Chains A and B, each alone.
Chain A
Amino acid sequence: MEFWKRFSRHRGAVIGLVFLLLIVAIAVLTPMLFPSSPWRMVQRPFLPPFTMDRFPLGTDALGRDVLAGLAYGAQVSLIIGLISTAAALLIGIPIGLIAGYFGGLVDDVLMRFTEFFQTVPSFALAIVLVAIFQPSIVSIIAAIGIVSWPPVARLVRAEVLSLRSREYVEAAILSGQTNTTIILRQILPNTLSPIIVLASLMVATAILLESSLSFMGLGDPNLMSWGYMIGAARTVIRQAWWLSFFPGVAILLTVLALNLIGEGLNDALNPRLSRKGK
């Protein structure tokens, strides 16, 4: 309750949440709203937007419905955003927990490993991973997960390091609790707030990454995605601006909504920190 009160104090976050729910609703209802394939030719090519009520956003170079493409693209963006973030969390959280809790050599090795991944230009690595393992939804999710876990590991480690020396953790050690119990019950719950905030921002970044990959022609060839739509429209940008404009706006608004939600979560979950930012 307290959480909602603080979250809703951030007006942008509420708008972001409403917009995100709308996108989710569209993604879920897409098969009902647009029963036919988004790849099917439905009208003459290059139908400008707002000329036909049935195809309000017009058609592309092959006469496909832009609006239907956007709806199917929402599915792809959300699924890839969520699953790849989950993958990054699954890699990053354990590494951060172990490095921070046990310290010493373990920490050294894990952190060198993390730094190493941060040195490799992440977008370039993602491109190569997807290209080498052939573009597909699995390889894209894996690539995004692999390039985006290091910040998670670093954040979790930093949190654990500060919690590790907290007196209540020392008290738990003295009371005979095992390392596993201490990590899972005393430490992990207290790192969740910053992780949740980071995760919401990571979904946004993952959506941007996926759209960039698709734009470069490295999307899943069977899935209609926003990045692919922009990439395909690039060559005809002079005669059909709307083909790249609308998908771009869709990406922008979705990512913006997620960022706003992240800010709201930060205000709600880390009230002490966010107060400074006001």
Chain B
Amino acid sequence: MSEPVLSVDHLTIKLPAGADRPYAVEDVSFDLKRGEILCIVGESGSGKSMSAHALMGLLPEGVAPVAGKILYAGVDLLTLSETDLRDMRGRKIAMVFQEPMAALNPLMRVEDQIAEVFEAHGLHTPQERRTRAVKLLEEVGIPDPPKAAKAFPFQMSGGQRQRVVIAMALALEPEVLIADEPTTALDVTTQAQILHLIRALQRRRGMSVMFITHDFGVVAEIADRVAVMQSGQVVETGTATAVLGAPQHAYTRKLLAAIPKLAAGQGRRATKASPLLQVSGLNKTFRTSHGLFGRSERVVRAIDQVNLTLFEGETLGIVGESGSGKSTLGRCLVRLIEPDTGTVTLAGVDMAHLKGEALRAARKTIQMIFQDPYASLNPRMTVGRIIADGPIAHGVPKAEALAKAAELLSLVGLDSSALARYPHEFSGGQRQRIGIARALALEPRVIIADEAVSALDVSIQAQVLDLLADLKQRLNLSLVFITHDLRVAATICDRIIVMQKGRIVEMGETHDIFTRPQQDYTRLLLDAIPGRSMDEAAVAAAAR
């Protein structure tokens, strides 16, 4: 490749007093070369996002660079005045953010938000700005650009919004584009499209792109070169092939090893057993009415004629994108959401039509593990009470329930001293273990895990998945595993159900779904999984 467009030279960024460490980024150096895509990859808290914000002079209050340089076109950006920085932002270096909905002003039309970029730098007439906005929308592949230009952000889908944000960033043909986790908030198929778009635009315009991500799959898809960050430091840099194929640093190796492997599930075969949970003809329609007399009604068929069976001892995956109804289905099974019609037969009892005391008793058999390790534990209760409250509600004496809670904690790999502590004292992964212990407290036969590892960093994710697999074996549990992540589904599930718009598209053994998908939508999902090349390389290496 050629000379660096931008180089970060021994950069150190200080965090405000009271943060968990003194520096967000410490003595970090890397170059962004002309016409390349450099991926900065790391887990949460690695400082990858802070470095990006420092380039734009957009660090949050109280966070400031204290040493080092950021050289662009021979000038140290850290020494520029706010006015000079402003002139450079958007024109020379542009940025794309993670959350496309939050990144757009909800009260302004799309065309105005794009036209504003020209206005900021005093370019063109208002009329021409608008014409260019429409052209940009066309370039980023939004259907019907003139109409989209007049739309407000809330009227667009997530993927379209991210395209608008990209259009804004491209408006002044910047030399450098910084993309901060631009696909993390998107569905997997949309993510594939946006990655493709960024790659295509980068090639067409010869831009240099600094792409920040936590996902090695995305790295494999898009990166020319990679810099791996761990707690504020760059531990490894190199070409994508080198870093992914032959990682040098132990941390990189650990991260790569933690990625769930698609191949893992492909060797798995479901064992036939007796059915434990049977769902037939399940429906749920959401109606939202507006106005006094409910004149305009919006009807969403969240679950549409769903039939499924969970066999004893198996892990059944339910995969789909957002809006597929997978979470609603999980909540209908335990009656956190009331299904409209249909039956949910659990060990011979129809859960869907129980009431009051009978429902309370029946729910002991089916428990749930939740997504958000922060929202799923009551911040004002001790861990002991959080776990023991269920048994206590079912009449177990308090002392006995707490003793049981201590056992459960050690079962999920936590010390029993955790009993008297509060949730905020624990990390995300530990909290998720507490959530698992709570679900086990009532000795259920079925556990529904709703995106149970989605909020966790990849290395923690691997540990929690191992724990679940292990507990399932030891306690003879059956698992319904709801996830958007096909990699995770591949590693843990025996069978998989693919959902789209409330309907089951395809159902089959994990091996068959991944090797011989029958439906177009399933194929689309599989093709969109980022970093498939990594798996293929691994399979090829194993075969050799």
Q: Are B393 and A177 closer than 8 Å at their CB atoms?
A: yes
The binding surface of chain A is classed by DSSP as: helix
Contact check, B378 vs A174: say whether CB atoms are below 8 A apart.
no
Report the stretch among A163-171, A195-203, A219-227 that lies at the interface: A163-171
Tell me which of B331, B378, B441 has the highest count of chain A C-beta atoms within 10 A of its own C-beta.
Answer: B378
B residues within 8 A CB of A166? Answer: 375-376
With beta carbons under 8 angstroms apart, the residue of B371, B376, B393 that contacts A176 is B393
Q: How far is the CA of A181 from the CA of B393 in the complex (A)?
A: 9
Q: How far is the CB of A182 from chain B (nearest CB, A)?
A: 10
Q: Give per-residue flags for A158-195: 1 if the beta carbon is below 8 A from chain B beta carbons, else 0.
A: 00000000111011111111100100011001100000
Decide: B393 and A174 in contact? CB cutoff 8 A: no
> Residue B372 at the A interface, CB < 8 A?
yes
- Complex: how many Å from CA A170 to CA B366? 13
Question: For B442, what are the chain A residues with a Cβ–Cβ distance below 8 Å?
Answer: 175-176
A175 touching B389, Cβ below 8 Å: yes
Residues of chain A lying within 8 A (CB to CB) of residue B363: 174-176
Cβ-defined partner of A175 (8 Å) among B372, B381, B390: B390
Nearest CB to that of A188 among chain B residues?
Answer: B380
A274 smallest CB distance to B (angstroms): 15
Report whether B394 and A171 are in contact in the complex, using a CB–CB cutoff of 8 Å: no
How many chain A residues sit at the interface, stated as a range, is 10 to 19
How far does the alpha carbon of A268 sit from the alpha carbon of B255 in the complex, in Å?
40
- A177, B376: Cβ atoms closer than 8 Å: no
Q: Which residues of A contact B378 (CB under 8 A)?
A: 168, 172, 186, 190
Interface residues of B in 313-350 (CB under 8 A from A): 331, 334, 336
B182 to chain A, nearest CB (A): 26
Residue of A nearest to B371 (CB): A167
Minimum distance in angstroms from B190 CB to a CB of chain A: 25
In the bound complex, do residue A168 and residue B376 qualify as a contact, i.e. CB atoms below 8 Å apart?
A: yes
Residues of A within 8 A of B371 (CB): 167
17 additional A-B pairs beyond A170-B336, A171-B376, beta carbons within 8 Å, are A166-B375, A166-B376, A167-B371, A168-B376, A170-B368, A171-B435, A174-B334, A174-B367, A174-B368, A175-B441, A175-B442, A176-B360, A176-B390, A176-B442, A178-B393, A181-B393, A185-B381
Can you list 10 A-B contacts (CB < 8 A)?
A: A168-B378, A171-B438, A175-B389, A175-B390, A175-B441, A175-B442, A176-B390, A178-B393, A181-B393, A190-B379
User: 7 nearest interchain CB pairs?
Assistant: A175-B390, A167-B376, A167-B370, A168-B378, A177-B393, A176-B393, A176-B360
Interface residues of B (CB under 8 A from A): 331, 334, 336, 360-361, 363-364, 366-368, 370-372, 375-381, 386, 389-390, 393-394, 435, 438-439, 441-442
Chain A residues near B (Cβ < 8 Å): 166-168, 170-178, 181, 185-186, 189-190
